[in-house]
Amino acid sequence: MAEVLVLAEHTADGEVKKVTLELLTAARRLGSPSVVWAGPGSAAGVARLAEYGAEKVYVADSADFSSYVVAPTAELLASLVASASPAAVLVAGTIEGKEIAGRLAVKTGSGLLTDAVDVAAGPDGAPVAEQPNFGGSITVHSVVKSGTPIIAVRPNAISAEAAAGAAAVSEVSFAASDAAKAAAISERVVAEKGARPDLTEAQIVVSGGRGTGSEEGFKIIEKLADSLGAAVGASRAVTDAGWYPHAFQVGQTGKTVSPQLYMAVGISGAIQHRAGMQTSKTIIAINKDAEAPIFEIADFGVVGDLFTVVPQLMEEISKHKGV
């Protein structure tokens, strides 16, 4: 069975990110999953990959990955594509993942499919990617016709399923070319991370819009999110107004999320916002305007003033938690 390369997303201390397990689940449908690990190996990381069906783990322990931005990782993948001739390469559809995928596509003369929400083997065994387009109003199934199919898969779109794999480690010696060292990392600032889950990986996202009225009003979104153990998101109207940081913007020019539950509070549902959340499994909207477009895609909707509805909702949530 042909190998399918999966680029691991992991923390500096070797913890495997959830999206990598999702990619492994997709890779098993296409062939034999081989993980590509850029950076110092991690026994705990390899053990985790084994639980999700990795048959092989290529570990390239080079300081180049932490000293320079994405180019060395694209070079590493290109060299493995040349040596392993994989059936496909899967990367996380994160900002970094998509940049690596683009560079890899150029280096290998291959086709690239981004924003995939599902991947399956077609009748001839070639990977078929499912992609939502035009803000999710059209779904297309795409195949790559040239080179090695490279597919960037949205985090949270595919459920990670455990399956035992050998996870045999294969050490790869790697040194980035001078060209890949053009953009060096000069400083690292660790983002302050509260107790809330990461926006793109969270199972529940509570997003607030202009309907919250102000920076002060937006705090009700944080309270609701915390009562549910959710991540906080925001519409562009909110981030442009400076009520909440841009890093939390959901939509076409922000983050793409696909949680189990997405709550849109005081958000009208403009197409650019929908582009970033439409594939959420369940969508709940709270809006005082019954005609708001968000209700077209909501599974459940509450028409009402959010400053009345949300406190009542939090009261019910705390009753259920027995708090």
Ligand X SMILES: Cc1cc2nc3c(=O)[nH]c(=O)nc-3n(C[C@H](O)[C@H](O)[C@H](O)COP(=O)(O)OP(=O)(O)OC[C@H]3O[C@@H](n4cnc5c(N)ncnc54)[C@H](O)[C@@H]3O)c2cc1C
**Residue numbers at the binding site for ligand X (CB under 6 A):** 209-211, 235-238, 249-254, 266-268, 270, 272-273, 276, 286-289, 292, 305-307
Pairing of strands 204-208, 231-234: parallel
Least Å distance, CB 183 to ligand X, is: 26
* Cβ closest to ligand X, residue 200 vs residue 268: 268
At 123, phi and psi to the nearest 5? Answer: -55, -30
**Residue at 15: amino acid letter:** E
Least Å distance, CB 51 to ligand X, is: 35
In terms of residues, how long is the chain?
323
Least Å distance, CB 193 to ligand X, is: 22
* Cβ closest to ligand X, residue 93 vs residue 209: 209
Decide if 60 contacts 34 (C-beta within 8 A): no
* Cβ closest to ligand X, residue 155 vs residue 254: 254
User: What residue number has its CB nearest to ligand X?
Assistant: 251
**Which residues face 5 on adjacent strands?**
34, 89
Residue 59 to residue 61: CA distance in whole angstroms: 6
Least Å distance, CB 272 to ligand X, is: 3
Smallest CA-to-CA distance from 4 within 45, 42, 32 is with 32
* Cβ closest to ligand X, residue 10 vs residue 273: 273
* Cβ closest to ligand X, residue 16 vs residue 257: 257
Least Å distance, CB 247 to ligand X, is: 12
Residue 239 to residue 249: CA distance in whole angstroms: 6
